[in-house]
Amino acid sequence: MHIHILGICGTFMGGLAVLAKAAGHTVTGCDANVYPPMSTQLTEQGIELIQGYEPEQTKLNPDLYVIGNVVSRGNPLMEEILNRGLPYMSGPQWIGEHILQDKWVLAVAGTHGKTTTSSMLAWILEDCGYSPGFLIGGVPLNFGISARLHGKDASSPFFVIEADEYDTAFFDKRSKFVHYHAKTAILNNLEYDHADIFPDVGAIETQFHHFVRTVPGLGRVIANANEASLARVLARGCWSEVEKFGSAADANWTLTEHADGSFDVLFNGDKQGTVAWRLDGAHNRHNALAAIAAARHVGVPPAEAIAALSRFENVRRRMEVRGTVSGITVYDDFAHHPTAITTTIAGLRQRVATQAQPARILAVLEPRSNTMKLGATKAALPGSLSEADLVFAYGATAGRDALGWNLAETLAPLGSKAKAFDDLDALAQAVASAAQPGDQILAMSNGSFGGIHEKIIDLLTKTCKTTT
């Protein structure tokens, strides 16, 4: 089959393209912005890329057009497809019908932690010899790729997928995850997000309820016992076995934390082993519990899953060190929701607390997600940043990425320790000027942040003349 993918350079659609190519299909695609690194990865796979959405692309005569949710009515190529009655399908539906059919699907859903938990789960299965395929919205460092059809054993039935609650396409407003038909489903957490498509948290809970309805009776739902929103979802109906993780009284999977960052894993009160790793934060410990529980459903003994996590290397853009200059460390993190910002800063604070000398955290934030730009969660922003020593935030005041609210006013409760900028170079200069040896600079955005990490590192290097 020849498929032509509209919106191919998105993380999900780019992963779909890789899987389709590996499955033997002819793959071409287009996007409004064809640029590295995704364009390079796809070209290396032998996938032809076209800049823009000109109607003339129908001359390629593919068997099917696969539509990403970045495409909307008015898109010239989409309008040509509709006018001519050409066959098309959403990306999630294509994945469900052509890749996940007959697979044991392990789907990871939640407002936060989907990428990290999916990566942990895929790595556990890989390390334990299960050769899973996967499609993840980031790049697990253990694999170096975001998607693959299978491991060394091509007959492996296992496939791990990051199960997004965002809508499927302009013609299918169901959440993506209803197309995946998971046999093992992780419900990591559920908060209000995606304000551009959901009016309130109840609407998101309804989509999670639809997701739960697709899990078969012999399947298993792994749910966060600490989340009242997930309790409401399960109360609406669940026809599968349920195991819960967290610290609530009804949790099956719990943990005991140690001062060195390791933690014991307990199942129904019985110790299964101790996870010793380099990751920080309570959120990552709970992600690990979920991954261990899901792996057990396919047959991985918890002790083996725990051992595998000691070799887990995290995900790009999750507390990724981008450089160190004269004792000043610059991190890149994907945190873009107040809860994620809170847990990321808390994890870093826990890490630096073990150092001989106290270290300051300089939080550098771009509120770039649609939810953030609409201001739906802005009231929670000062609280989420309160544990940082200094806060530098960027918000465009003009153009398509402009915030719909006043960033400086929103950060005012933080007082003099927070500053807002509408110029990236000025922000970088302010951060570099404020930084002192030992400081931890934490840059958070769900986009490229205009290369702010490199800007800060370059300025620090010019000032300090010493880099490692």
If DSSP states are collapsed to H, E and C, what string results for 301-355?
CHHHHHHHHCCCCCECCCCEEEEEECCEEEEEECCCCHHHHHHHHHHHHHHHCCC
- Domain end call among 70, 91, 112: 91
pLDDT at 72: 95
221-267 pLDDT, tens digit per residue, is 999 999 999 999 999 999 999 999 999 999 999 999 998 889 999 99
pLDDT over threshold 70, residue 467: no
Structural domain boundaries enclosing 72: 2-91
Looking at the domain assignment, is residue 367 inside a domain? yes
Residues 290 and 381 in one domain: no
Q: Are residues 350 and 439 in the same domain?
A: yes
Residue type, 56: E
- Model confidence band, residue 379 (pLDDT cutoffs 50, 70, 90): confident
Q: Extract the tokens encoding 180.
A: 């995946």
Query: Among residues 74, 91, 108, which one ends one of the domains?
Result: 91
CATH of the domain at 51: 3.40.50.720
In angstroms, the CA 339 to CA 440 distance is: 20
Residues 297 and 350 in one domain: no
What is the number of domains present in the chain? 3
Residues 185 and 256 in one domain: yes
CA distances from 95 to 3, 118, 152, 350, 443 (A): 12, 17, 21, 40, 33
If asked whether residues 128 and 153 sit together in one domain, one would say: yes
Residues 81 and 104 in one domain: no
CATH number, domain of 383, equals: 3.90.190.20
- Name the band, by pLDDT with cuts 50, 70 and 90, for residue 450: confident
What tokens appear for 330 in the block?
């610059």
Are 177 and 163 in contact by the 8 Å Cβ rule? The answer is: yes
Report yes or no on 235 lying in a domain.
Answer: yes
Please report how the helices 338-352 and 282-297 are oriented relative to each other, as an axis angle in degrees rounded to 10.
110
Q: Tell me if 315 is assigned to some domain.
A: no
122 falls within a domain = yes
For the chain, give the percent of residues with pLDDT over 70.
Answer: 97
457 in the same domain as 332: yes
pTM of the model: 0.81
Q: Does residue 159 belong to any structural domain of this protein? A: yes
Mean pLDDT of 431-442: 91
Q: Is the pLDDT of residue 358 over 60?
A: yes
Q: State which amino acid sits at residue 354.
A: T
Q: Please count the CA atoms within 13 angstroms of the CA of 412 that sit on its side-chain side.
A: 4
Is residue 327 one of the residues assigned to a domain?
Answer: yes
CB 381 within 8 A of CB 375: no
> Mean pLDDT, to the nearest integer, of 34-39?
73
* Residues 81 and 105 both lie in one domain: no
CA-atom Rg of the chain in angstroms: 22
The tokens describing 6, both together, are 């509209």
Query: Do 119 and 225 lie in a common domain?
Result: yes
Lowest-pLDDT range of 86-90, 247-251, 403-407: 403-407
Span 98-129, pLDDT tens digits: 999 999 999 999 988 899 999 999 999 999 99
Residues 122 and 233 in one domain: yes
pLDDT value at position 93? 97
Whether residue 314 is contained in a domain is answered as: no
* pLDDT at residue 355, rounded to an integer: 67
Residue by residue, DSSP assigns 76-104 as HHHHHHHHTT--EEEHHHHHHHHTSTTSE
Lowest mean pLDDT among 191-200, 208-217, 439-448: 191-200
- DSSP sequence for 38-83: HHHHHHHTT-EEEES--GGGGGG--SEEEE-TT--TT-HHHHHHHH
Order across the sheet with 133-135: list the strands.
147-148, 133-135, 158-162, 104-109, 184-187, 220-224, 241-245, 253-257, 263-267, 270-275
Average pLDDT value for residue range 74-90? 98
Residues 350 and 251 in one domain: no
What pLDDT does 356 receive?
A: 65
Residue 187: beta bridge partners? 109, 223
For residue 381, is it left (φ>0), alpha (ψ between -120 and 50) or beta?
alpha
